[in-house]
Amino acid sequence: MTPVIPLHRLTIALSKLLAIIGIAVAAMLLGADPLSAHTDLVARARTQAHGSDYDRAIADLTKAIEQDPSDKAAYELRGICYVCKKEKNYDLARADFDAIIRLDPQNGRAYQHRGSVYYAQHQYANAKADFARAIALNPEDPRAYNSMAWLMATSPDSNYRDGVKAVELARKACEFSSWRLPSMIDTLAAAYAEDGKFNDAVAAENQALEKWSHWRNVDASVKAARERIALYEAGKPYHWIRE
């Protein structure tokens, strides 16, 4: 399944952390610079997150946030870790994205992340509102379009599905990402299927699979994509199964 969360797996949406610069010379000489320690915590957490060591990353990010409660990048990465770990905690993830929005109400990526959490929690109206806000704030961000397209193509609630609109949004996501990301082409396939264009859905899913063949650590995505191809070949759309 295309990841609900940035984009379509939230791990793909891990953002570059903001660099913290400007170390005081006196503190450097004393070897006790709290800003440097904060930077080290965030950098180490980023490495841990990329290695799927989410619990340790969360622990370091929590310390970093205690040192600097205004660090939006630390909140963002911690929120992503909460939804990527095996025992997901959507409430804590949403609290981190809420914190970013309080600090920066124009942060479109935070709305996109929070919308993905709402989707996972079956709060589709809230998810749709956040995705719309993300698109309005970042009208060229493919992740925002991809998230909205996935909602409109795969929602278990038919009130939020719209195949025609999903295709339009998914194509924008692919275009803004230069057709490079298999997860977004995968979303386009789901959108075509929801719109009843099953041959196009199969073709798009095969295109996504070809691109995934050049990626590492995507076995779960490839397995899910192959299962969806079977649905499309049988003339059936893919709708997310509620957890």
| Residue extents of the structural domains in the chain | 1-15+27-139, 141-243
In this structure, CATH architecture of domain 141-243 = Alpha Horseshoe (1.25)
Give pLDDT tens digits for 15-43.
222 222 222 222 222 233 345 567 889 99
What's the confidence (pLDDT) of residue 100?
97
What's the confidence (pLDDT) of residue 28?
25
What's the confidence (pLDDT) of residue 8?
37
C-alpha–C-alpha distance, residues 177 and 212, integer Å? 15
Q: What are phi and psi of 25, to 5 degrees?
A: -60, -45
Domains 1-15+27-139 and 141-243 share a fold: yes
Q: Tell me, which fold does domain 1-15+27-139 have in CATH?
A: 1.25.40
Residues 125-142, mean pLDDT to the nearest whole number = 97
What's the confidence (pLDDT) of residue 117?
96
**Which one is predicted more confidently, 45 or 37?**
45
Per DSSP, the residues of 123-187 read: -HHHHHHHHHHHHHH-TT-HHHHHHHHHHHHH-SSGGG--HHHHHHHHHHHHHHTTT--HHHHHH
| CB-count burial class (<10 Å; 0-12, 13-18, 19+) for 221 | buried
pLDDT above 80 for 191:
yes
pTM above 0.75, yes or no: yes
Q: How confident is the model at residue 218 (pLDDT cuts 50, 70, 90)?
A: confident
Residues 158-180, mean pLDDT to the nearest whole number = 97
What's the confidence (pLDDT) of residue 21?
21
**C-alpha angle 61-62-65 in degrees, rounded to nearest 5:** 85
* Residues in the chain, total: 243
